[in-house]
Every structure is written in C-alpha cells, then in structure tokens.
Amino acid sequence: VAAGGRVGGVPEGHLIHHHARRHRAGLVGAERISSPQRRFPAHRVTGRLVDVDAHGKHLAHRWSDGAVVHVHLGKQGVLLDGPSPPPEPMPQVRMRVEGPALYTDLIAPMVCEVLDEDGWEAVRATLGPDPLREDADVDRVLAALVATSSPIGVALMDQAILAGVGNALRADVLNLVDVHPATPSDRLDEGRRRRLWDELVALMRTAAEAGAIPHTVYRQERCPRCGTPVQTGDVGGRTAYWCPLHQPPPDA
Ligand SMILES: [Zn+2]
C-alpha cells in the first residue's frame, strides 16, 4: 500500500502531494488519531480532520480544534495509506489517522509536530513557491533563478527558491529542457527559464498523479530521447545525471 518504494533521498514534492490528494479524498472526516509508538502527542489533537495541505516536501493535516499536524518525512520517513479499517498497528508507527475510507500510518518521519495555523504559515514562509500549488508565484521563482550564479542543478534543489524538487526531479527536468546541471543559473535566458518552470509543473503533475516520476535520465543507463549513455557527476554534493548530447556542459 505504500506509494512507491525509494532508494535513498528525501521523498520529493510530487509524492507528498500524491499523499495529500489521497488524504483529502479518504481521510478528511477522521476523528481518530493515535501514536502507537507514543512519541507523538496525539492527545493534543481533538475534533476531526477538516483539510489537508502540502507545500514542497511538507504535509499538513488541519483539525477542527485548530491544530495543524506538520509532517516532513526526511530520509527515512514513510506514509503507508490503506483502506479502513486498519490492521493492528506496528509498534513503530509514530502517528495513525483513521478515517472513514482510508487510514494512514506515519513511520520514522523527520518531523511530526502539532502546530497551529500561524506555525504552519511560518513553515511555509521559509519555502519558495511550489510548482504543484495553484498559488505558486512563477515570477518570484524566475527572478530568484536569475539572481544566483549557482549551478542550476543546485538552485533547483534550494527549497527557498522553489519547493519540492530533489535529486530525481532536477535530473529529469533538466534533461527535458536540454540544460546541463552545472550551468550557472543566471546564464539561462528568460525563455529557457520559463520553459524549465513549465516542464517542471507538467512533470510534477504527472508524477503526483502516478505517485512516481516518469524518469528520463535519473538512474537510467541511456537517454530515452537519443540512446546516448547517461553521464553522472557531483553537482552540489549530490549525484547529477545528464545526457552529454542533449545537455552539453557549459562553456568555461
Ligand atoms: Zn539525449
């Protein structure tokens, strides 16, 4: 019932939005929240689940008593969604929410805390626009990308510039727009930056729907567009993947 396994890395924004959609559809109305592991103060949350929000890699459950439960999965965390009624919980379940149609078990998150609306807004204030949110301010992202000479592969993963992109999404979207990940961000012209945003929105929407990214070059042998072997290298401390034909390195 988990939404796709993963090999290392923090789940990216598409997966958080994938869970958020399922929770909106099947978990809203839930009145039962518990912590089988006892490491989350579930007794502080009362009433019923009224809404689910997501921004980048952050998930929020809004409850009728004003509590906002903020979750960030981090590297180890996982959400297991399944049809109600749930089985006996595993002892390592940090938080279980049981709704009319769906339950979710949260295991090993980096963050699982009770905030209020102001607290959730404070979390969101640290984040750049999220390509999967209707309220995303594209001009703010494009301005931030032209204001930095960091490699575009680094800028894309800076959650303060835009929220939700990790190592896989950066690799695949840069292949789609024919940009090498080491290209200085401020060297992309206006048209290319706008196309990068548009492709990212489309890719993340598809991935959020499916719960998985349709990879082009991330952890792939060959570029699916031309068959050239994919190259790898370090960009910003993470392994980058690119097609040497479609994405030539920037001029020195
Ligand atoms: Zn190629």
Convert the pLDDT of each residue in 78-129 to its tens digit: 999 999 999 999 999 999 999 989 999 999 999 999 999 999 999 999 999 9
| 149 burial type by CB count under 10 A (0-12 exposed, 13-18 middle, 19+ buried) | exposed
The whole-chain average pLDDT of the chain stands at: 95
- Expressed in angstroms and rounded, the spacing between residue 244 Cα and the centre of ligand 1 is 7
Residues assigned a catalytic role: 11-12, 57, 238
192 vs 213: CA distance, rounded Å = 22
Interaxial angle between packed helices 13-26 and 190-210, expressed in degrees from 0 to 180 and rounded to the nearest 10: 40
- Expressed in angstroms and rounded, the spacing between residue 25 Cα and the centre of ligand 1 is 39
Indicate the pTM of the whole model: 0.94
Q: Cα 20–129–184 angle (5° rounding)?
A: 125
List Cβ neighbours of 121 (8 Å cut-off, separation of 6 or more): none
Contact 63, 120 (CB under 8 A): no
| Cα–Cα separations (whole angstroms), residue 191 to 42, 134, 151, 160, 195 | 48, 22, 18, 22, 6
- Expressed in angstroms and rounded, the spacing between residue 232 Cα and the centre of ligand 1 is 13
- Expressed in angstroms and rounded, the spacing between residue 75 Cα and the centre of ligand 1 is 30
